[in-house]
Amino acid sequence: MRPLLYSINVTLDGCCDHRAGIADEDIHRNAARNIEQADALLFGRVTYEMMESAWRPVPSGAKPDWMEPWMEPFARTIDAAKKYVVSSTLNQVDWNSELVRGDLGNAVQKLKSESGRGLLTGGVTLPRALAELGLIDEYEFVVHPRLAGHGPTLFAGLSKYVDLKLVSRSELASGAVVMRYEPKR
């Protein structure tokens, strides 16, 4: 059974807007390591489209003006990864991706039941639904030493508590803290 890891960058005041974090080499290295350790990524439509627009190579091979050289390993890693996209509105996907349709719980249980190292998810809406269904096996919060003063926040609207047990903690050079938790079962 493949475990499902949820990983998200979040500010100290709970903002998980991808533009609010500190984008540095350590953050990208941590994210690339997570992707490398998984068999596939599991995205909702919004996260998939956001990642594709930022990290999918353009046909000419030119790098975007904003991409620093230390971002390139992450770009290559996410580009090569197998992706599953949960969406009822997209008719097709590419970028090494496959649509996931139907009952979310059954579809994700099927993906998890396959042999392999694991699945990795991120974002906001899909992970909330996965948490509701008890399908996330490990939570990783990369907490940035920043106050954003705005949202979105994680797991807004969750119908019940999910109690977690800390399994590891490490600090990055920026002062961001990577904390991994498992659900108490």
pLDDT tens per residue across span 85-122: 999 999 999 999 999 999 999 999 999 999 999 999 99
pLDDT number for residue 130: 98
Contact between 133 and 154 under an 8 Å Cβ cutoff? The reply is no
DSSP secondary structure letter of residue 38: S
Q: Is 37 exposed, middle or buried (0-12, 13-18, 19+ CB in 10 A)?
A: exposed
Whole-model pTM? 0.94
Residue 25, classed as helix, strand or coil, is helix
The full 3-state SS of 100-151, as one line of letters, equals: ECCCHHHHHHHHHHCCCCCEEECCCHHHHHHHHCCCCCEEEEEEECCCCCCC
Contact between 31 and 140 under an 8 Å Cβ cutoff? The reply is no
| Cα 101 to Cα 119: distance, rounded to the nearest angstrom | 17
What are the pLDDT tens digits along the chain (185 aa)?
999 999 999 999 999 998 899 999 999 999 999 999 999 999 999 999 999 999 999 888 888 889 999 999 999 999 999 999 999 999 999 999 999 999 999 999 999 999 999 999 999 999 999 999 999 999 999 999 999 999 888 999 999 999 999 999 999 999 999 999 999 98
Helix (H) or strand (E) segment spanning residue 42: strand 40-44
What single string gives the DSSP state of each residue in 45-109?
Answer: HHHHHHHHHHHSPPTT-PPPTT--GGGHHHHHHHHHSEEEEE-SS-S---SSEEEE-S-HHHHHH
Amino acid at 167: V
| Cα 115 to Cα 47: distance, rounded to the nearest angstrom | 25
pLDDT tens per residue across span 169-185: 999 999 999 999 999 98
pLDDT number for residue 25: 94
| Cα 41 to Cα 78: distance, rounded to the nearest angstrom | 9
